[in-house]
Amino acid sequence: MPDETTAVATPPHLQLVNVWKRFGEAPKQTVAVRNVDLSIEPGAFVTLIGPSGCGKSTLFSMISGLLPPDSDGSLLLNGKVQQDGALLGKIAFMPQRDLLFPWRTVLDNATLALEVEGMPRRRARAKAEALFPEFGLGGFEQHYPHQLSGGMRQRVALMRTFLFERDLILLDEPFGALDALTRSMMQRWLLDIWAKHRRTVLFITHDIDEAIFLGDKVVVMTARPGTIKCEEAITLPRPRDLGVVTTPEFMAVKKKLLAVVEEESLKTFAAASP
């Protein structure tokens, strides 16, 4: 029997309560995110899907502390309310755009967050160098970002996020630019790392298969202004391998989620029509 006292005493790792984000002033205001309530348990792998422009990246900007939420709601980390700016530096965040510095080598881009934290350059470099082969980037340490493909740049950004060791990681479409094979390799790599270190992961994707394959829970957002449409617990056994995508359980969840996402995506297009 689970001990209820313990369960109650452990707060969610991350909690969003009535979170809103509006850009600009009425009448030209864009409500990007509305009334988002979300709880992420410690060590969970949660995937987030929703139509383009529904507010997913905006939500991540707020969780990472880069963008203050509107005053309606609150963000809690380990049960503690986080005031504006308090979340900065507490969370590892890989933004949707890779934000690599063109004047720095790949190695120096990878070590950036560690250096900002004050780690001596030599130690930061040694730490980063050890990861290059694992990310399929061995031999590219001294290249510059413009000398890499889109998928390679994405892997550098992912590596940088992992080097910034935080127990909550936000990944905004980290595998979007990868070919199917590399993507599948990186998915399995990510699951291995997650199983080993049990960090909490929040992962945005447009790929429903990927959301189900990786997640303990898939959170679906509505069309903008984005709020939580539904949450689907994924009970497929772990460790998961590629064969899982052909199981009836996988197919059933996929069918259900496809219907919901399609409904919301159609709303986005209807809203955009003249």
Ligand X SMILES: Nc1ncnc2c1ncn2[C@@H]1O[C@H](COP(=O)(O)OP(=O)(O)OP(=O)(O)O)[C@@H](O)[C@H]1O
Residue ranges that bind Mg ion, judged by CB under 5 A: 56-57, 96
Beta strand 92-94 with 168-172 is parallel
Q: How far apart, in whole angstroms, are the C-alpha atoms of residue 255 and residue 212? A: 11
Q: How many CA atoms lie within 13 A of 252 on its CB side?
A: 8
CB of 91 or CB of 128, closer to Mg ion:
91
Q: How far apart, in whole angstroms, are the C-alpha atoms of residue 2 and residue 32? A: 39
53 binds, among Mg ion, ligand X, none (CB under 5 to 8 A by kind): ligand X
What b/e sequence results for 249-259 when a residue is b if at least 16 CB atoms lie within 10 Å of its CB, and e otherwise? ebeebbeebee
Q: How far apart, in whole angstroms, are the C-alpha atoms of residue 55 and residue 38? A: 14
Smallest distance from the beta carbon of 172 to Mg ion, in angstroms?
Answer: 6
58 binds, among ligand X, Mg ion, none (CB under 5 to 8 A by kind): ligand X
12 binds, among Mg ion, ligand X, none (CB under 5 to 8 A by kind): none
Instruction: Measure the N-to-C terminal CA separation of the chain; round to a whole number of Å.
Output: 57
Smallest distance from the beta carbon of 85 to ligand X, in angstroms?
Answer: 17
Give me the residues that bind ligand X (CB under 6 A), please. Answer: 23, 30, 32, 50, 52-58, 96, 224
Smallest distance from the beta carbon of 173 to ligand X, in angstroms?
Answer: 7
Q: How far apart, in whole angstroms, are the C-alpha atoms of residue 168 and residue 91? A: 5
CB of 20 or CB of 250, closer to ligand X:
20
Smallest distance from the beta carbon of 174 to ligand X, in angstroms?
Answer: 13
Smallest distance from the beta carbon of 254 to ligand X, in angstroms?
Answer: 19
CB of 137 or CB of 202, closer to ligand X:
202
